[in-house]
């Protein structure tokens, strides 16, 4: 009986996944676009990462305490860039992708244009939807976060981070597009480097920001489909149009 129950649950999950995939293809029917169904990760509480703690101390004019017995970190090492957890991992930029895939099980898609389908948008904040996007010889991290910037008023923040240096990030332009019920919303900007921390980008509002009512206009039965396109560009501009 237990075996039957588990198998039946797996079949239902597969049917639900195929249904979500069909809905995304119906919304974004352009040829060549890949669809990635992304399930949410609901964090119990965000723990401050090392970069967030340093940024907060700097803004308050307080430098982190220095002790002679502390180990000096290699400046070429970067902390874990996954915003879901307070992960103590550190490593070189070249192995960040391997860490994200192996440790945090983050999916990766390849292609110039993909569709990011976030499910269960109704879940309470804080909640994250994350994938990696491999394009033009580089890897990008797309983060969609539901977070209460003001108590009782959750918002959705979507941003694209290059897993690379700020100089490399300046060579690209990314576009996030929502299209449903004869409405279109587009955000176009230069991606930020993963070295700059996802938390700070969201705090600054330098990303696509949706309030709950606007997100509902573009959602379909609790799922939000976001078209993603990345191009090479030397022009640094950002826009939001509807």
Domain assignment of residue 98, yes or no: yes
Average pLDDT on 134-144 reads: 93
Q: Is residue 224 part of a domain?
A: yes
What pLDDT score was predicted for residue 188? 96
pLDDT, one tens digit per residue, over 178-203 is 999 889 999 999 999 988 888 889 88
CATH of the domain at 98: 2.60.210.10
The answer to whether residue 113 sits within a structural domain is: yes
Q: Which residues pair with 54 in a beta bridge?
A: none
Give start and end residues of each alpha helix (H) in the chain: 2-27, 50-59, 96-102, 166-169, 198-204, 212-218
pLDDT of residue 6: 53
Looking at per-residue pLDDT, the higher value among 78 and 25 belongs to 78
**What is the pTM assigned to this prediction?**
0.72
b/e burial code for range 132-160 (CB count within 10 A of at least 16 → b)? bbbbeebbbbbbbbbbeeeeeebbbbbbb
pLDDT band per the 50, 70, 90 thresholds, residue 40: confident
Look at residue 47 and tell me whether its pLDDT is greater than 60. no
Query: What pLDDT score was predicted for residue 77?
Result: 80
Q: Is the pLDDT of residue 122 over 50?
A: yes
Mean pLDDT of the chain: 76
- Select the more confidently predicted residue: 112 or 28: 112
**Structural domain span for residue 201:** 31-39+77-232
Q: Is 59 a member of any domain?
A: no
Q: Stretch 75-101: mean pLDDT, rounded? A: 81
**Structural domain includes residue 57:** no
- The count of structural domains within the chain is 1
User: Is residue 64 a part of any domain in this protein?
Assistant: no
Please state, as a whole number, how many other Cβ atoms lie within 10 Å of the Cβ of residue 206: 16
Residue 117 in any domain: the answer is yes
Tell me, yes or no, whether 189 lies in a domain. yes
Contact (CB, 8 A) for 212 and 154 = yes
């Amino acid at each position: 009986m237990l075996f039957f129950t588990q198998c039946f649950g797996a079949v239902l999950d597969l049917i639900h996944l195929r249904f979500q995939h069909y809905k995304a293809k119906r919304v974004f029917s352009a040829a060549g676009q890949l669809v990635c169904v992304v399930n949410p990760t609901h964090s119990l509480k965000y723990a401050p990462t090392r970069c967030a703690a340093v940024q907060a101390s700097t803004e308050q004019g307080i430098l982190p305490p220095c002790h002679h017995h502390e180990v000096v970190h290699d400046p070429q090492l970067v902390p874990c860039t996954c915003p879901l957890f307070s992960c103590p991992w550190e490593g070189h930029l070249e192995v960040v992708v391997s860490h994200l895939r192996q440790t945090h099980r983050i999916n990766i898609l390849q292609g110039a244009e993909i569709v990011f389908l976030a499910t269960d948008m109704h879940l309470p904040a804080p909640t994250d939807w994350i994938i990696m996007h491999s394009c033009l010889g580089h890897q990008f991290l797309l983060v969609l976060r539901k977070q209460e910037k003001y108590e009782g008023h959750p918002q959705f923040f979507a941003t694209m981070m290059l897993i690379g240096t700020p100089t490399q990030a300046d060579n690209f332009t990314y576009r996030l597009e929502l299209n449903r019920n004869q409405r279109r919303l587009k955000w176009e900007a230069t991606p930020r480097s993963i070295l700059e921390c996802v938390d700070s980008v969201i705090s600054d509002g330098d990303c696509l920001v949706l309030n709950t009512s606007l997100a509902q206009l573009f959602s379909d039965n609790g799922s939000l489909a976001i078209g993603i396109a990345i191009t090479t560009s030397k022009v640094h501009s950002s826009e939001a149009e509807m």
